[in-house]
Amino acid sequence: MSNIENRHPGKFSFHMLMMVLAGFTVFGPEMAAARQSAVSEVTFAKDVLPIMQRACQQCHRAGSVAPMSLLTYEEVRPWARAIRDKTAQREMPPWFIERNVGVRRFKEDASLSDEEIATIGQWVDAGAPRGNPGDAPAPIELAALDDWRIGSPEWIVELPEEQLIGAVDADRWLDIWADSGFAEDRYIKAVETKPSPGGHRVVHHVATSMRWEDENGEEGGGFLNEYAMGKNGDIFPDGTGRLIKAGTQIRFNMHYSSVGEEIVDRTRVGFQLYPKGYIPDRVLISRHVGDSFDTLDIPAGADNVRSDGYYVLPEPTQVTGFQPHMHIRGKRMCVEAIHPNGTIETLSCTGHNFGWHIVYNYADEVAPLLPAGTILHVIGWHDNTASNRYNPDPKNWVGFGNRSIDDMSFAWMSFFHMPEEIYEEKLVRRKRMSSE
């Protein structure tokens, strides 16, 4: 008997089905309602659209560099699975800071919370329902792509020539130099880098920096500003500024990607300035920290190759931001502060993705406050295996060099120094704030 049943699983299923149906007639309406509400709990209109508005739409809209627009349900629906995967892996939005170490609060942090990622996952797993359109928030106002966020600049420096990006060119990373035209030293109050009108579609990112030679023939300079879709310019707090010296050359580090159409760009950087002769109380410095010129030694095919670099802070310092600088094989970077009393404090660790260059600016209340004599220790890790998708050749040894097929490891750190008494006052204020 049991033998026959086994050979006719269909019959068994039929019994099961009858039982389920019987159950359904008894508990049916309630169960169905419960299931319905579980399914409709997470909807696009109520739960997912607000996340898209906050963290995705400034890039994912018509005319921008991102491959698709994510403004409406119709636009988002076909991408639901890709969105679930990219957000779960924290590849989108691009923001690679490790969340469990170091400073946790940043300016302009578009990254998703664990809850938001879970919400997107539940929504996709439930079949990506639209929900009740009445639950949807009003569309957000997205700033026009051509607006200067710092206001109309007093001074603009453009690329020396237009760049023509073909319909199907490979991605291009270029360093282009331009003369700033500054005839005297000035302090910058605000700075913003922007593609020219229409260029937004092909400009993936731009980082601008300065190089000058001072009276004694010493080279100086530093980071200026970074453009990536959705970023504001930098407006420095009152009394804070960055020096640009007479005769400065400006470097535009460009990443162009084609969009299937020929497009012309002439990216520019705009400035607001303090009056001539004015010297702000706090001069913002951006410099290389922890270069490992001699020690960078990345064997063929090796992963997690570590290098170390150091920089001693000569005066009390507030660190305002940092950006890892590595090339194609860069994988991860940590910065720690070794205090003169021997305490070691991790400031930040971040993944590195050659496709994105992100500046992480610390929120003012938590920006690291460090005594004179602190050693900033920068630790880089490189991946020279084939699983690094940017790696052109895992069979090559790689060392320090300027070409992107060579590599580097240092952090651009931005900070300002202050006199000892101000540092002490700030420390006291911090302690009071954290005990409240």
Residues that bind ligand HEC (CB under 6 A): 55-56, 59-60, 65-67, 79, 82-83, 86-87, 92-94, 110, 112, 228-230, 355
Closest contact distance (angstroms) between CB of 120 and ligand HEC is 7
Residue that is written with structure tokens 């299937």 in the block: 260
Closest contact distance (angstroms) between CB of 113 and ligand HEC is 11
CB atoms near residue 420 (< 10 Å):
11
Would you say 103 or 229 has its CB closer to ligand HEC? 229
Output the CA torsion sign for 121, 350, 355, 406: negative
Closest contact distance (angstroms) between CB of 253 and ligand HEC is 16
- Written as one string, the DSSP assignment of 318-353 is EEEEEEEEE-TTEEEEEEEEE-TTS-EEEEEEEE--
CB atoms near residue 78 (< 10 Å):
11
Would you say 226 or 407 has its CB closer to ligand HEC? 226
Amino acid present at 105: R
Would you say 90 or 426 has its CB closer to ligand HEC? 90
Would you say 189 or 352 has its CB closer to ligand HEC? 352
Would you say 92 or 298 has its CB closer to ligand HEC? 92
Output the CA torsion sign for 169, 171, 175, 178: positive
Q: Are 370 and 427 in contact (CB under 8 A)?
A: no
Would you say 201 or 245 has its CB closer to ligand HEC? 201
Closest contact distance (angstroms) between CB of 69 and ligand HEC is 11
Closest contact distance (angstroms) between CB of 272 and ligand HEC is 24
Closest contact distance (angstroms) between CB of 356 and ligand HEC is 7
Would you say 163 or 318 has its CB closer to ligand HEC? 163
Q: For residue 173, what are the β-bridge partners? A: 255
Closest contact distance (angstroms) between CB of 92 and ligand HEC is 4
Closest contact distance (angstroms) between CB of 87 and ligand HEC is 5
Residues 292, 308: Cα–Cα separation, whole Å: 6
Would you say 110 or 235 has its CB closer to ligand HEC? 110
Beta strands, E only, 214-354: 219-228, 234-235, 240-244, 249-256, 263-265, 268-273, 282-283, 285-289, 297-298, 305-312, 317-326, 330-338, 344-351
Residue that is written with structure tokens 């005769």 in the block: 247
Q: Is 177 helix (H, G, I), strand (E, B) or coil?
A: strand
Would you say 94 or 102 has its CB closer to ligand HEC? 94
Nearest partner of 208 among 166, 250, 246, judged by Cα: 250
Closest contact distance (angstroms) between CB of 433 and ligand HEC is 31
Beta strands, E only, 84-185: 155-158, 163-165, 172-179
